[in-house]
Structure 1
């Protein structure tokens, strides 16, 4: 494979030594590794030209900001190696932090040399790290598809064709997904946490599970017992219409704002 490797190659620096070591590892495995100084490439367009000219198939960057940001959007897979200053200094600058988060979302993998560096990255960019882990696992699981965001109308149409909606959140206030499922007459299986249990009454408006094994058993039960499914759907629909009416919510907020209006002259 023909690889582009971007790093900061100032002589006798730690990053330069690391980059050369990694390049040696890759070339020893038979890959062609074109090592370039990230500071010599001023724009993404220069990187795009280099990729085309050298017929490069994939890329690596040592340093999430200095190298990683130059690899976005070129249509070739790339991975990231954290450099040190990206996690220790650049994370404290909002614009750089946002850029690095977007780089992680696109990267196929990220390498941290220590547990401390890994923990820092996971703390700073929870969603990209978690998203990457989920996508990797989904690819290995037959029959599982990961869908992106979609308009609400399309989402509701998809929900209506589902056998059940699963909420596996570890923390919830009031789950809109659960209420939408009930309103659309779709059975709900939800993790037994306070926020979900406040909405879902076990075996009445839905099913609550405590662990993966519990979930599997309840899901199988839902498949085996059509009468249970019908009961959960009917009770869930009635619960939403009685306690989460759209009109009642509208009236409540309008009344609350009137309280604020009445306070402005005090």
Structure 2
């Protein structure tokens, strides 16, 4: 099958859409299919549309209903008659369907041959407001691939019993990266071995500046900048617990799945996306505010056996439910249904 994959981001590879696009691309190619990737951070929509029209695929698969769908997939489908599939990735559901982009986003979803969500909670959220999409909506959980571990620690050393909380996230408001500083500062006063590491690109300049300024006020915290996919695995492996403090996720965050795959307990905000994979007291903890975060962080700090148990159960969950091969086969089944191949 000849597939065109459209993604809002492919560079840098640390962004969620880029991680998802690269994983799907690799799996489809490994299964023997021809895949062309067009990224909106590398070329304008008009150029991508011309390329698709000049060399039509059997199917167009776009990540993000508004960015990948409204900008390219829907127009390409209308120009060529090629069916397109949309994978909902987060801000299309939790922002674009709620603001001035709503009309364009809905048009994309209504014209799509199929719409995939990472979890049933996202499907239900969409169908609660737009039940007419029920026949085209499918649930395909994300797969997870472990990132590389070639990280240069430089002067950073954590070999004296430090307890490391790690937050992998791009610096933008939805990731709420500065949230953990307050409760972790209190925990650090109780236990000086507490450390906080934040890694990810600055995606919102104003929010990034405010976050880095806040980190500078806390000696136990470090911002490591943007860490490539070939290196960030070392941070997961060294972490004692992994944080996700997002205000929303598109069903499940790649970083949460990766933390579980590395056998790390997850401390995550109580949102749909995190609840879809983090099971309270089984693979991690969910918090509704600073007090719950502090209490659960303290539990992990003072009970190493608890963290090990949660981590092992998380690793087993990923093995059973979130393999990249299973994800790719689910998409291929959907592709075949759409194209009749």
Please give the TM-score of this superposition, normalised by the length of structure 2.
0.39
- Higher relative CO (Cα under 8 Å, sequence separation at least 6) belongs to 2
Name which one, 1 or 2, has greater alpha-carbon Rg: 1
Higher helix proportion, which one?
A: 1
Please give the TM-score of this superposition, normalised by the length of structure 1.
0.50
